[in-house]
């Protein structure tokens, strides 16, 4: 915010945060064994970013802002990245990755069940759509 200024366009600030901050915050999340506490702290940081950009108070929900900006909360984003990673491992022709895929199939199904993703054979766009759909249904406008 100090670089783009106080009177900046909020959507520009969201784009910059989504392009530069979110990848730094979630770098390597596909292979993390992440617990709820860490995921909560990441959500708090991401939500604080939205509150800062739009001038919100700490008690206000940022879900509607994220929805209208087309941005997932960090928890959904991390789960989406994990599902897409496991899908790519499953489709790999590498024997080591294929073995790894069999070991992680229960994790894929557990995470996928949160978003009605029941098969690794779903297309990338369908997985993304399922995650977005679950998020969109949780937003109270």
The answer to whether residue 79 is domain-embedded is yes
Q: Is the pLDDT of residue 33 over 90?
A: no
With respect to residue 98, please indicate whether it lies within any of the assigned structural domains. Answer: yes
Full residue range of the structural domain in which residue 51 is found? 10-138
Q: Is 54 exposed, middle or buried (0-12, 13-18, 19+ CB in 10 A)?
A: middle
Counting the structural domains of the chain, the total is: 1
**2 domain-assigned:** no
User: In 3-state terms, what secondary structure has residue 100?
Assistant: helix
130 within a domain of the structure (yes/no): yes
pLDDT at residue 7 in the model: 63
In a domain, 5, yes or no: no
Is residue 1 a part of any domain in this protein? no
User: What confidence category does residue 57 fall into, taking pLDDT thresholds of 50, 70 and 90?
Assistant: confident
Cβ distance 42 to 76 under 8 Å? no
> Which pTM value belongs to this model?
0.88
pLDDT band at residue 8 using 50, 70 and 90 as cut-offs = confident
């Amino acid at each position: 915010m100090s670089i783009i200024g106080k009177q900046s366009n909020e959507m520009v600030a969201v784009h910059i945060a989504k392009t530069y901050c979110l990848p730094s915050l979630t770098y390597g999340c596909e292979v993390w064994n992440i617990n709820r506490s860490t995921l909560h702290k990441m959500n708090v940081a991401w939500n604080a970013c939205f509150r800062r950009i739009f001038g919100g108070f700490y008690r206000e929900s940022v879900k509607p802002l994220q929805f209208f900006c087309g941005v997932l909360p960090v928890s959904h984003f991390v789960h989406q990245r994990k599902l897409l990673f496991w899908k790519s491992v499953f489709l790999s022709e590498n024997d080591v990755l294929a073995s790894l895929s069999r070991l992680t199939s229960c994790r894929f199904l557990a995470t996928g069940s949160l978003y009605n993703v029941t098969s690794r054979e779903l297309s990338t766009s369908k997985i993304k759509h399922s995650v977005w759909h679950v998020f969109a249904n949780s937003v109270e406008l």
